[in-house]
Structure 1
Amino acid sequence: MGFEENRTGGPVLWAVAAWAAIAAVLTAPIAAALVGIVYRFPIPFGDNARGAGDALNAALASVFYLVMGEGVVLALLGGIAGYFIARAVGPGLFRPLVLAVVAAFGLTLLGALILAAFR
């Protein structure tokens, strides 16, 4: 019975959590550019980025938001999601890692949408 309960070892859990945290932070400019193309993205000290022409501006604005402290929030949420995905998926490294990176990008995209809606 103990074998079925402990499906994934500790190093795998923390490795997947770390990669998900890194992926959440590194995909923030991509998510901001996508939100800027589809909806709008707030640029600090300026207007909103709208459309494909302002995608680079939205990506650079997301770097400003990351530096101002939102990168810590994204990393924390991505790491937590990666940890629980690795626990839920089971043994192995590749499948939980891919799912955790996709979930981290989804959380980043959700964060960019929230930022765009309330700023």
Structure 2
Amino acid sequence: MVDDSTAQRMKHALVGGLAAIVLAPAAAAVTATVYRFPVPMVGYTSGFGGALTAAVGSVFYLVLGGALVLGALGAVGGYVAVGPKRPAGAGTYALAVLIGLGVAVAGAVALALLEYVIGPW
């Protein structure tokens, strides 16, 4: 039988994972607006004009497996959001969503900086 705290942690893990996946296009759009974002078959896009293109391009990365990575990392963050001495509540769900947003932004920035790791592509 699953105890109450484990069930709460699993709910928070689900919220964190879903938040990371759902917020990924918005994170890509913000990354493109502030810096740049690689869009498949288009190249790097940047500025306000490239925000929508980056958001749509990020869906391509999600389909290729990015959803698994972002979902797993967001779930871990959501699971950790409810600590052993912190009672679950609305604040912890907000924390799980915030952690999911951080994971989505980190993924978008990692794609924007990938050229410096693997070279031009």
TM-score, normalised to structure 1's length? 0.89
In the alignment, which of 52, 68, 71 is matched to residue 72 of structure 1?
A: 68
Contiguous gaps of at least 5 residues in structure 2: 116-121
Provide the secondary structure at the position in 2 that maps to 1:48: strand
Q: In the alignment, what sits opposite 1:4?
A: none
Question: What do the CA deviations read for 1:37-68 (whole angstroms, capped 9, x no partner)?
Answer: 00000010122111001100000000000000
**How many positions carry a matched residue from both structures?**
112
Aligned sequence identity (%): 38
Opposite residue 48 of structure 1, the aligned amino acid is Y
Q: In the alignment, what sits opposite 1:101?
A: 97
TM-score, normalised to structure 2's length? 0.88
Give the Cα–Cα distance (whole angstroms) in 2 for the partners of residues 103 and 89 of structure 1: 19
Whose helix proportion is higher, 1 or 2? 1
Task: Say if 1:96 and 1:42 are closer, same or farther in 2 by CA, change over 3 A.
Answer: same
Opposite residue 94 of structure 1, the aligned amino acid is A
Contiguous gaps of at least 5 residues in structure 1: 1-7
Structure 1 ranges of 4+ moved more than 2 A:
none
Q: In the alignment, what sits opposite 2:20?
A: 24
